Structure 1
Amino acid sequence: MTCPLGCSRLPPCRAGTMMADKALRARLARATPAPFPRPSPTPGRGAPAHHRGVPFGGPRTCPLRMRSPAGRTAASGEGGAETATTQAAPRTAPGASVAGDEPADDVLVTEQVAEILQDDSKPLTERVGGAWDSLPYKLRLLLALSSCFVICNMDKVNISVAIIPMAKDLGWSPSVKGLVQSSFFWGYMVSQLPGGFLANKFGGRTVLPGGVFLWSAATAAVPLAAQSLPTLCLSRAAVGLGEAVAPSSAADLVARCIPANERARAMSFIFGGLHVGSITGLLVAPGLIESFGWESVFIVFGGLGLLWTAWWEAEMKRMLLAGEGPEAAPLSLPKSDSDTGALPWRGFLRSRPLQALAFTHFCNNWMHYTMLAWLPTYFTETLHLELSQAAQVSLLPPLAAIAVSTIAGPSADGLIERGWPTSRVRKTAQALAFLGPLGCLVAVPAFQDQPWVAIALIAGALGLNSFALAGLYCNHQDLSPRYASVLLGMTNTAAAVPGIFGVTLTGLLLDQTDSDWGLSLFYPSAMWFAFGAAVFVALGSSDKQDFDGNNAPFAWEARLPPWIKRRFAGADVPSADANGNGNGNGNGKAG
C-alpha cells in the first residue's frame, strides 16, 4: 500500500492514511493541478500544501514524517542524504507566490475574500467559512494566535476594573488590592520556564490550548473563589499559570513557521492582540458590572477562552488534514550535531546577550504590569472619574500602543531588508521603547491638576513602549530560533517579578505616602527604563548564540557533592564526532 499523498515511503505516513477517506481523497483530487509541464519544478498553489516544492514526477518524501518525538526537525529515519534533501526543499505557504507561477499578492487574496463574502446565494456562515479557508495558512495561524492574546489580556485586565466594586463590597485596603492583583503573577512567574520547556519539547500547537483552558476555567471560577481571600489568590495564580505558556508557545510557532525577515511583523501582530484585549476588556467590563454585577465579568470572559480552545483544536485538525499548519510544516529550526534532546542550560547561563535580554525584559514589564493593575484606580481616585469613565479613558494607552505597533514591526523589518545590522535595529527600537516613555512618566505628576494632559502623557508612554515589539520581543528568535520558546520562558520569568513585587510595592507605597502616585507608580517605572536602556544598548546583541557548543560543565561543578552530580548527570551534553559518537566530554570550553 502506498501513501495516498504520493509519498515514496512505506508504510504510508499518518496524514496519508487519514487522507485515504473517500471525502478527503475527493477533495485532494479537486486540488491536484493540471498535468502539464510548468516552467518551474515547484508546483503552484493548486498542489497539496505539504507536497509543494517537490518536482512533478520525482520521488516524494513526505515532510509530515520529519517530526521527531521531541517536536523538532529530524530525519525521517533512514539516511542522511534523504533527510538533507527533504529539509532543503522550499516550503511555499498556501496562496504564496512561487517562481514560474502567477503572483499571489495581498490584492488577489483580498479580492478572493471579497468575492466569497458577496456571494448572496450562500448563507452568511458558509460565506464567512469560505473566506476564512481562502486565506493563506500562515495568516490564519497569526490571526488565531492574535485572537488568543486578545482573550489573554481580557482575562488579565478584568480584575483591574472589577477590583474597584469588589474592594467596596469586601472592604479591601489598597495593600490588599495590590495583593489580590499580584497573585496572578505568582503562577505566571513559576510556570515560565516549564512553559518554555514544554513548548520546545511538544510544540506550541499542543501546549497553547492547554494553557488557554486552564486560565479560562480559573477565570470563570473567580466568583466562587472570592468567598475567601486565599482561594481568590489561588484562583488568580491559576490564571497566571495558564497564561504563562502563551508567549513561549507563540514564540515557538513563529520560529517554526515564519521566515526570519517576517518575524518582527508577525510578533507585532500577535502581541498586538494584547492591546486589543485590553481595549475590549476595558470596554465590556464596566457595562457587565453595572448590569449584572462584577461576577459576570469573570464568567463571560472565562467562557470565551473555553470556546477558543475548542475552535483551535478543530482548526488545527482541519489544517493538518489539508497538509497545512504547524504540524505539517517541514520545520526549519537548526539541529545541532551534538544534540541529544537535553537543553543546554549552561550555555544559556553563560550567554551575556541573554543576561542583558532578561534584565531588559524585567525593566520593560515593570511599567506594563503596574500600570495595568493601578491605572483604573488612579483615574477614579486622583482624577475623580466614574468607573465607566475611568475604563473608557483607560482605552487610550492601548489605542496608542496599537498605533505604534503597526509602525514598529514593519519599520524594523524594512531596515533589516535594507542592510541594517539586526543588532542595531533591535537596540534602536528598544531605546525608543524606553527613553520616550521615561520622559512622559517623569512629567505626569506635574500635571495631576490637568487630567487630560496627564492622560495624554500616560497614553504616550504606553504607546511608545510598543517599540519593544521590534526590540526585545524579537531578540529571542535572533539569538536562537531553535530555543526561542525556552529563551522567552527564561526572560519572562524575570519579567514576571515586577508583577509580584511591583504591583504589591505600589499598593504599600500608596498606603505609606498618602497616595503619592508619582513616588508610588510613575517614578519607579522611569528609573527601571533608564537602567534597561543602558544595559540593552551596551550588552545586548542579535548574533546567533551557540548554546549547544558552549554547554561544557562549569569549573565549580567538580566540587559539588556526589549525590547532586548523580542527580544532574543527564544534563551533560556530550560532544559528537563526525560519525555521531559521543566522547563523553562537554562541548565548548569549561567556564
Structure 2
Amino acid sequence: MIQEEICSRDTMACCVDCPRRYFVVFLGFIGLLVSIGFRTCFALVMVHVTNHTSTERDDDSLFHNCTTSRDLQLNIEPSHVFLLHTAFYCGSLVTQIPGGILATRYSPKWVCGLSIVLSSVLFLVLPTAIQYNLPAVYVIRVLQGLVEGCSIPALNGIISAWAPKTERSRMITVAYAGAYISPAIALMTSGACSCYVSWNSIIYIYGGCGVAWSIVWMLCIHDNPKHHPRLGARERQLFCTDDVVINRPDQEEKIIPWRAILTSLPVYAIIVGAFCRNWIFSMLITQQPQYFKEVFHMTTADIGFLSAVPHVLMTVVVITGGFVVDNFIKRDIFSTTVARKLSETLGFGVEAACVMVIAFVDDKHKALVLLCVGVAFSGIAISGYQVNPLDLAPKYASVVTGLARLGMLGAVLSTVVAYFVRDIVTDPAEVPEAWKRLFIIAASIHFFGVLFYAVFASGNRQPWSGSPSTLSVSITQPVANDDKDYDETTRLLRRRLRLHRPQLVDADSYEYGSTTRFLNTI
C-alpha cells in the first residue's frame, strides 16, 4: 500500500528533519526567476540595440554614459521588435496543453527540467543570430516558446504534489514569486550590463544560469514525497496526517475527463483571468521599456533601474498575500471561493484602474508611481486565479493549469496590437497618443477579466475532479483483540469510504495534495 510506503520508517529515511518541500519551492522560485528573466532580458536588450535612440538628454537621468566599445545598433523599426516577442508567445501558446499532458503521463520533473535547459541553450545562441541573421531570431524565439511552454504546467504539478492543504497558497505564491521578482532583477542587470559591459553579456549570464539550474533540478528534485528516499520524520508525518493519503487505481489515473473540464465555467474563469493577466504582464515586460524610451527619452540603464521597482513591490505582496489568504481560509473568515474572488477583484481591479490613469499621464514620475501601486496590488490576485486549479481538481491540476496557460494568447495579442498601433505612427509627435491607446485597451480588457472571474469562479472541488473512492485508511492500533473482528472492521471502514457522492465533495472535505498524481506521475 502507498500508506505503508510513505509512512513506514525505512532505513533510507533521513535522521535529521529537513523540510524537503521548502527546497522544492526554493528551486521552483529560482527556475521561474531565470526563465521569465529570458523574456525581460531580451526585451531590454532589443530596446538598447535598435537604431532609434532619442537624441534628447534626460536631465533627470541616473546614468549618463550608456555606451560601451562593444555596443550594437540594428537598423530596424521599434514596432518590429514587438513581433519578435509575438513569435515567442505563439510558440509558448502551442505547448501549454501538451506540456500539461506530458507532465501528467510522465515525470513533471523531467518535463520541467528539459524544457528550461533547451530554452537556455537557445537563448545562448541568440546574440549570434541578432548580429548576423535577423530571420533566425524569429525561428529561435518560436523554438524557445515551444520548449518553454511545457515548464509552468509541469512545475505546478511538482509543487502541488509537495503542498499540504494548509500550505497550498503560500507554497504556490512563494514559488511563483520568482516569476514576479524576475523582471525586476532582469531589468536592473540588463540595463547595467548593456550600458557598461556589452550589449550581449546579460544573455550569456542568464543562459548559463538556466543550464546550471536545470542540472540541479533534474538531479535533486523528486516528483512527489513518496519517491523521496530521505524525507525527514516530521515532514513524513505531515504527509501522513490522520493516516489518510490519496491513492488511485491504475485505470482511473489514465483517464482525463476532458468533456467535463472543457464545459466547466470555473475553469473558463481561470482561463479568462490568465488571458487578461498575460495581456498586462506582456505589456510590463516587453512594451514598458519601449514606452519609457519613446515617451520620456530615458536611457537603458534608467529604464532598467526604475522599471524594476514595481516588480519588487509586487513580489512582496505576492508572498504576503499567499500567507494572508491561507489564514483567512484556515480560520473560516472566508470560504475558499470568496477568498479567491476577493483576491482577484482587489488585485487586478486596482491594477486596471492604475493602467487606465497612466494613459492620461504625461509625467514620468507620476507614471512610475501609478505603476508601483497597480503592479504591487496585482500581487494579491496571484492567490486567486493562480492557485485556483488546485482547488478545482488537485488530481488534474496540471491539465487545468495547461488550459489556463492558454491565457498566453493574451500576451500574443498584446504584442500584435502593440505592433499595429505603434507601426502606423510615423510622426514622433504622435507617439505618446499611440501609447495612450495601448494603455486604454489593456485596462479595459483587465476590467472585463475581473468581472468575469468575480461571477463565474469557484473555490470548491468540482464533481469531475476525481473520485474520493480512492481514499485508503490505515489503522495503526487494532480495534479488537480478535483478528477476525479487526479485519472485518477495517474492511467495513474501507467500504464505507468508497460510498460517496462526488458532487458533495468540496476542496476542503479532506486532505489532498501531498501524494496526488497531479500529473499522474506516481
Contact 1:186 1:500 in 2 (8 A): yes
The answer to whether the aligner puts 1:141 opposite 2:141 as a matched pair is no
**CA separation in 2, counterparts of 1:151 and 1:333?**
33
**1:473 is matched with which residue?**
386
| Distance 1:317-1:545 versus aligned 2 partners, 3 A rule | closer
**1:502 is matched with which residue?**
414
For residues 191-206 of structure 1, what are the structure 2 equivalents within 5 Å?
191-206=95-110
Per-residue deviation, 1:391: 0.7
**CA separation in 1, counterparts of 2:193 and 2:296?**
23
- The aligned amino acid for 1:434 is F
**CA separation in 2, counterparts of 1:526 and 1:417?**
33
- The aligned amino acid for 1:172 is I
Contact 1:336 1:548 in 2 (8 A): no
| Distance 1:336-1:453 versus aligned 2 partners, 3 A rule | farther
Per-residue deviation, 1:505: 0.9
**1:208 is matched with which residue?**
112
The answer to whether the aligner puts 1:430 opposite 2:334 as a matched pair is no
Runs of 5+ unmatched residues, structure 1? 1-8, 14-41, 43-49, 65-90, 96-134, 551-577, 579-586
**CA separation in 2, counterparts of 1:149 and 1:164?**
23
**CA separation in 2, counterparts of 1:153 and 1:348?**
28
**CA separation in 2, counterparts of 1:175 and 1:316?**
42
Report how many aligned residue pairs link the two structures: 432
- The aligned amino acid for 2:213 is W
**CA separation in 2, counterparts of 1:239 and 1:441?**
29
For residues 35-74 of structure 1, what are the structure 2 equivalents within 5 Å?
53-54=7-8
The answer to whether the aligner puts 1:439 opposite 2:353 as a matched pair is yes
Contact 2:191 2:301 in 1 (8 A): yes
For residues 371-410 of structure 1, what are the structure 2 equivalents within 5 Å?
371-410=284-323
Larger RCO, structure (CA 8 Å, separation 6 or more) = 2
| Distance 1:521-1:53 versus aligned 2 partners, 3 A rule | same
Contact 1:437 1:464 in 2 (8 A): yes
Contact 2:352 2:443 in 1 (8 A): yes
Contact 2:86 2:416 in 1 (8 A): yes
- The aligned amino acid for 1:527 is S
- The aligned amino acid for 1:312 is W
Tell me which of 20, 34, 40 is aligned to 1:151.
34
**CA separation in 2, counterparts of 1:321 and 1:435?**
42
For residues 73-152 of structure 1, what are the structure 2 equivalents within 5 Å?
95=17, 135-152=18-35
SS in 2 for 1:544: coil
Per-residue deviation, 1:388: 0.5
**2:167 is matched with which residue?**
262
- The aligned amino acid for 1:323 is R
Q: Deviations over 1:453-483 (max 9, x none)?
A: 1111012111111112100001000000011
Contact 1:174 1:508 in 2 (8 A): no
For residues 25-44 of structure 1, what are the structure 2 equivalents within 5 Å?
none
- The aligned amino acid for 2:92 is Y
For residues 206-285 of structure 1, what are the structure 2 equivalents within 5 Å?
206-226=110-130, 227-285=132-190
Contact 1:370 1:498 in 2 (8 A): no
Identity of aligned residues (%): 21
Q: TM-score, normalised by structure 1?
A: 0.68
Tell me which of 456, 462, 481 is aligned to 1:545.
462
Per-residue deviation, 1:399: 1.1
Q: TM-score, normalised by structure 2?
A: 0.76
**CA separation in 2, counterparts of 1:148 and 1:279?**
15
Per-residue deviation, 1:292: 4.1
Could you tell which deviates more after superposition, 418-427 or 200-209? Answer: 200-209
| Distance 1:290-1:518 versus aligned 2 partners, 3 A rule | closer
**CA separation in 1, counterparts of 2:448 and 2:16?**
45
Contact 2:24 2:221 in 1 (8 A): no
**1:526 is matched with which residue?**
443
- The aligned amino acid for 1:530 is F
Contact 2:40 2:285 in 1 (8 A): yes
**CA separation in 2, counterparts of 1:243 and 1:160?**
17
| Distance 1:141-1:549 versus aligned 2 partners, 3 A rule | closer
Contact 2:119 2:148 in 1 (8 A): yes
Contact 1:333 1:482 in 2 (8 A): no
Contact 1:150 1:273 in 2 (8 A): yes
Q: Deviations over 1:338-376 (max 9, x none)?
A: 726132211111211112221121112111112210111
Name which one, 1 or 2, has greater alpha-carbon Rg.
Answer: 1
**1:306 is matched with which residue?**
211
Contact 1:479 1:545 in 2 (8 A): yes
- The aligned amino acid for 1:423 is T
- The aligned amino acid for 1:505 is V
Could you tell which deviates more after superposition, 284-293 or 194-203? Answer: 284-293
RMSD, aligned α-carbons: 3.1
Contact 2:266 2:458 in 1 (8 A): yes
Contact 1:93 1:138 in 2 (8 A): no
**2:475 is matched with which residue?**
none
Q: Deviations over 1:64-109 (max 9, x none)?
A: 9xxxxxxxxxxxxxxxxxxxxxxxxxx99973xxxxxxxxxxxxxx
